[in-house]
Amino acid sequence: MNIKSKGKLRGYKEGFRKGFSLIEIAIVLVIVSILLGLGIRSCISGIETAKIDNTQDKLLNFKTFILRNFCKTGNLVKKKEIDSYYLKDAWNNDIELIYALDTNDSNPCSLKTTSLSVILPSGNEVKDVVAVILSPSANRVLDSNVSLNKVEVKNDDLWEYITLYEIKTQCCSNKGISILTDSLPPIVEGENYDITLVATGGKPPYKCDVTSENSTVESFFKNHLVQGSEAFPYCKIVFSEDDSKDFISLLSSSEVSINLEVKDSSNPPFLASRNYLITVIRRKL
């Protein structure tokens, strides 16, 4: 009996396995924590990369939308007219839309240059920009240079911009307006004057303005301009017999020079201008 008991006890001891030491457990925990840390960082990095890609795609779609709308309508869309989807980035921050100040009064197709430029992180400057679409980096406030029509983008910003060249090459062929009135007839003292200023292209009706180096001439023509309307889209210069007498009495020369500027009803408008030299004929006493 004793021999069997010893045999069983000996077999039990041989099958016994010792547990992990504290050092081994600590090493395992360190390895697990490192792996978890790498996994979390990788996950966070993946989420951040996805947000960057999502926002960059949104900015590109925003740019495409502005270009397509302008090519179709001749109008630069305002922020309030844009789907709210485009106005927030993946971090739920506002996306900024900045237009060149020149486009407030003139259609880009009529411009030869713009005052807006973009300073890239490399330091290079992109000039003649029509619009900047910007997702500023966290906690960034756009500086005062924006009001001066210069936008400096940082390394952490996401952006797209539209140049005047892109607008003109993609959207401006067969667009714009032209003044068809080649010359203006003489102003004869004591006679009525009623001239239609014919324009074509763009979106009627047309609005006109006159400038001149002679302030008397400029003031007179401005006061006798009739703007286009839905009923009659063209501008006119109209004044009476007495008006012609009064006007000529103020002149010392036999010719007057004016510059006519015509805008259509697009928003912003297309623009055309033309210079005229008008003969003044005085009645002999």
* Dist. CA 162–CA 118, nearest whole Å: 10
Q: What pLDDT score was predicted for residue 144? A: 45
Tokens for 207?
């609005």
Segment 217-258, tens digit of pLDDT:
999 999 999 999 999 999 999 999 999 999 999 998 899 999
Domain ranges of the chain: 50-68+80-171, 177-281
**Beta strands of the chain (E only): which ranges?**
96-99, 116-119, 125-135, 150-152, 158-163, 177-179, 187-188, 193-197, 199-201, 207-211, 225-226, 235-239, 255-263, 271-281
Span 177-281: which CATH code?
2.60.40.10
User: How does residue 3 score in pLDDT terms, banded at 50, 70 and 90?
Assistant: very low
Segment 92-121, tens digit of pLDDT:
888 889 999 888 888 888 888 999 999 998
* Dist. CA 69–CA 40, nearest whole Å: 43
Which range has the worst mean pLDDT, 48-57, 206-215, 269-278? 48-57
In the predicted structure, residue 156 carries a pLDDT above the cut 90: no
- The predicted model scores a pTM of 0.56
